[in-house]
Amino acid sequence: MTPRERVLAVLSGEMPDRVPFVVWNNKLPNAEITGQLLELQTCVINKSTVYRFTTPEVKIETRELEVKEGFRRVEKIYHTPSGALSTTLRLLGSSTWIERMPFGGAGDYDALEAFIASKVYEGCYDDFVEADLMYPGQSLARPETIYTPIQDLICKYMGVEAFCIEWADRRERLLGLCEVIAEDRRKRLELVAASPARFAVIEGNVISEVVGAERFEKYHVPYIEEGCRILHENGKWAGAHLDANNRSLAAEIARTSLDLVESFTPPPDCDLGLAEARRQWPGKTIQINFPSSVHLNGAECVREAARDIIREAAPGDRFIVGVSEDISEGGVDTLIPLAESVLRYGQTPISTN
């Protein structure tokens, strides 16, 4: 089987010939290591998109700001019919960090609703297909994550602190904004469902300590299920990027129709062990993020941890080892030992001896 075929086999519930090893394209430190990883049967997950949007009723102004800590920074100002919003972004090469969220307080609800409602989407598949086939037999394109409405607010528009204040002080207004986001989300889901993508991630980056099991069940799960339904009706797998502590949400996750839990991070970084997660989620594929902290201890510790994690996943069905979070020093000294270990210990059925 090719590395790509292994990933697709696991997602379909089949036992591959060996455990797949995947690395996100934005976690590849340089061309030399990328070449070595490909020789070690790695599948590169290329982050891409299957749609783009315009905002005909909103003028977007971009201003360059002072460079900070060596990184370029820009301010974006959104001039909507209901007022202006602005956000500050830090451009970090392969990713963008939000320094200041667009939502600055209660006076921004109307403008934020107007901005979201103004988005007009269209499919754009050519770049996605190119990313999907970048490395023949060794790549798979992944569409942009589509959050549930509350996660959109936390991750893209408000941030945790402002969200918590609005939840306490103006909950009904906030939930009204969630409905505007939900309608926008359906447009994106329909475009992904009609696209060449094999799977899509429809929730992500949930912080259980912020959300809590009760709110997750009431306000996240219905939108997760809606996304699963739309994707399943079009022959796609549905995933969630759950890279934080999952123990308190494990039962709620188990009851969803999700096919994939992506970037699941076992101890020592997060609080739910792999074996326990596999017991609680027997019909779901788990793509772990190999714990980033282990890379700090050097190549030999990476090898030992990889062996132990793979044995914990015996017999090896519905399991993928991945690197989908940041690594100290880009993993220049540890990515290759990790790939070698997955190749060495990952033949299925996995032995626990």
CATH number of the domain residue 266 falls in: 3.20.20.210
Same domain, 100 and 184: no
Domain closes at, from 91, 118, 145: 118
Q: State the average pLDDT over residues 200-228.
A: 97
Neighbours of 105 (CB within 10 A): 9
Same domain, 112 and 38: no
Residue 299 to residue 335: CA distance in whole angstroms: 8
In a domain, 178, yes or no: yes
In a domain, 250, yes or no: yes
In a domain, 350, yes or no: no
In a domain, 352, yes or no: no
- Cα 116–Cα 117–Cα 118 angle in degrees, nearest 5: 90
pLDDT at 222: 98
* pLDDT above 70 for 94: no
Cβ–Cβ under 8 Å, residues 270 and 261 = no
Q: State the average pLDDT over residues 325-331.
A: 92
Same domain, 174 and 276: yes
Q: State the average pLDDT over residues 303-307.
A: 98
* pLDDT above 90 for 96: no
Question: How many domains, in total, are found in the chain?
Answer: 2
**pTM, entire model:** 0.95
Same domain, 199 and 127: yes
Task: Tell me the DSSP string of 202-229.
Answer: EEE---HHHHHHHHIIIIIHHHHHHHHH
Same domain, 183 and 327: yes
pLDDT digits (tens, 9 = 90+) for 34-57: 999 999 999 999 999 999 999 999
Same domain, 65 and 131: no
In a domain, 351, yes or no: no
Same domain, 10 and 133: yes
Same domain, 75 and 185: no
Domain closes at, from 118, 150, 170: 118
Domain of residue 152 covers 3-53+119-345
pLDDT digits (tens, 9 = 90+) for 135-172: 999 999 999 999 999 999 999 999 999 999 999 999 99
Neighbours of 333 (CB within 10 A): 16
Contacts 24+ apart (CB under 8 A), 34-41: 36/336, 36/339, 37/335, 37/336, 37/339, 38/135, 38/138, 40/336, 40/339, 40/340, 40/343, 41/3, 41/138, 41/339, 41/343
